[in-house]
Amino acid sequence: MNLEILIKNKRIVVVAAIITVFLVTGFYLSNSKNADASTETIKEVTVRKDTLKVDMVSDGKAEVSTVNLRFEANGIVGEIPVFLGQELKAGDVIARLVPDKYQYEFDTAKAGYQSALAKLQKAREQYESQILSEELKVAGLEEELAKEQMQYEAMIKVKEAFTEQEVELKRITLENVKKSYEAAIKAYERTKNSLSDIEQERAAVDQALASLKKAEINLDSTVLKSPVDGKLVYLSGNIGESVSTSADFAKVAEKGGLYVTAGVLELDIGKVFKGQESEVVFEAFPDDVYTGKVEDIEYLPVTDPSGIIAYNVKVSLDNPDDRIRSGMTCTVSFIVKQKKDVLVIPNEAVKRVNGEQVVEVKKGEGETEVRKIKTGFTDGRNSEVLEGLNQGDRVLIRQKAVR
């Protein structure tokens, strides 16, 4: 009986031992697997100088300032000395109308003006000639009056040497000369003050000049010129076709008139200001970044059907090129804050130990040191290094990867 119990007890111990072995083996296997499942990777980065920035992004599109041009006279197109896409200077001729009618009116008005000028000149010459004649007449009578006055006074002094008849005759002669002199003076004054003929001819000249200027304006209206430097982007007619003053004939994209308009949400508009640096990337040229500045912020909002309020912001580009076309879509980054040419490291390289910022710096093969640093501005991914590191230092980033 005791033997059977002992055998049973031995069996129980053996089974328990086997179970214990399995449990211990499983524990170690499990720990071994967990230890293998967690591995450490080390990434080495070099401290470098770069630009850190925080920006606010909006969608936008390219627009071009264009000047719409139309003739100021109706007529037939006679000449188009330019072609679409041509670069123009201010004053370059884009097109001319057949000028027959307006040229005739101009030539007639010019001839009328020249005729009026000739008549005015003739009137002036006649006036000056008449004045000279009157002046000579007055001078002659003045001399004769002085002579007669002197002779009469001499006769009076020796009155007994002359008969009464001779003295009286001299007096009468003196009076007649005096009257003639006074009449000549009055005639001279009347001639001098009488400019009616000249004024009449001058008025005719003014009228003829006004007609000439009008005809010149009409003739000039047959020539369409570019008022600005830019590129010809639109022509609506051909030689021999009729044009009117009510329709645009050409459009010129103003040089330097390319800009970008971006819609900025009401919540973000406070971050945008005039003169703010911006970066623009067009969908058509994703690898090219165009720099620019905020030129204007519209006061009136734009509201979409869902009630979202935005404001259009105009951004001028620093160096646009001919590839950019009006209507091209783009992404505009408004630089809220940035620091250029500063030492930067990834944020993940910085650890905090006992309240201080530290990084692990590689000194040589297998040799590292923990170094205290001080960081400044961050863009959320990288940080500015103010103290503790130099350009070219190698910093280690340890990361545990769970498999």
**Residue 21 pLDDT exceeds 50:** no
**Residue 160 pLDDT exceeds 90:** no
Pairing of strands 394-402, 356-364: antiparallel
Q: Could you give the CA distance from residue 139 to residue 153 in angstroms, rounded to a whole number?
A: 21
Tell me the pLDDT tens digit for each residue of 172-223.
998 998 999 898 888 888 877 777 778 888 899 999 999 999 999 999 999 9
Most confident of the following: 102-106, 131-135, 330-334: 330-334
Tell me the pLDDT tens digit for each residue of 243-264.
999 999 999 999 888 999 999 9
Type of residue found at 212: L
The residues, ordered by sequence, that sit 6+ positions from 197 with a Cβ below 8 Å of its Cβ are 123, 126, 127
Q: Could you give the CA distance from residue 193 to residue 207 in angstroms, rounded to a whole number?
A: 24
Q: Could you give the CA distance from residue 274 to residue 335 in angstroms, rounded to a whole number?
A: 12
3-state secondary structure of 171: helix
Assigned token pair, 237: 């007619």
For residues 255 and 229, is the Cβ–Cβ distance under 8 A?
yes
**Residue 89 pLDDT exceeds 50:** yes
Type of residue found at 275: G
Q: Could you give the CA distance from residue 15 to residue 13 in angstroms, rounded to a whole number?
A: 5
**Residue 29 pLDDT exceeds 70:** no
* Torsion on CA atoms 339, 345, 347, 352, rounded to nearest 10: -110
Which residue, 70, 86, 60, is CA-closest to 326? Answer: 60
CATH classification code of 71-98+222-247: 2.40.50.100
- Residue found under tokens 């003196």: 174
Mean of pLDDT over the chain: 86
**Residue 12 pLDDT exceeds 70:** no
Pairing of strands 290-297, 277-282: antiparallel
Q: Could you give the CA distance from residue 333 to residue 359 in angstroms, rounded to a whole number?
A: 32
- DSSP assignment of 18-30 equals HHHHHHHHHHHHH
Q: What is the domain partition of the chain in residue ranges? A: 2-39, 48-63+252-402, 71-98+222-247, 102-218
Tell me the pLDDT tens digit for each residue of 35-77.
444 588 888 899 999 999 899 999 999 999 999 999 999 999 9
What pLDDT is attached to residue 14? 35
pTM: predicted TM-score of the whole model, two decimal places: 0.57
Which spans in 38-99 are helix H?
A: none
What pLDDT is attached to residue 1? 36
What pLDDT is attached to residue 111? 96
What pLDDT is attached to residue 38? 58
State the number of CA atoms in the 13 A half-sphere of 116 facing the CB: 20
Q: Could you give the CA distance from residue 8 to residue 315 in angstroms, rounded to a whole number?
A: 94
Q: Read off φ and ψ for residue 292, nearest 5 degrees.
A: -165, -175
What pLDDT is attached to residue 402? 57
What pLDDT is attached to residue 401? 64
What pLDDT is attached to residue 256? 80
Assigned token pair, 61: 């599109």
Assigned token pair, 221: 């209206």
What distance lies between CA 252 and its chain's CA centroid?
A: 14
For residues 385 and 339, is the Cβ–Cβ distance under 8 A?
no
Q: Could you give the CA distance from residue 262 to residue 235 in angstroms, rounded to a whole number?
A: 29
Q: Read off φ and ψ for residue 280, nearest 5 degrees.
A: -125, 130
Q: What CATH homologous superfamily does 48-63+252-402 map to? A: Efflux pump adaptor protein, beta barrel domain (2.40.30.170)
The residues, ordered by sequence, that sit 6+ positions from 150 with a Cβ below 8 Å of its Cβ are none
The residues, ordered by sequence, that sit 6+ positions from 56 with a Cβ below 8 Å of its Cβ are 264, 268, 271, 272, 333, 334, 336
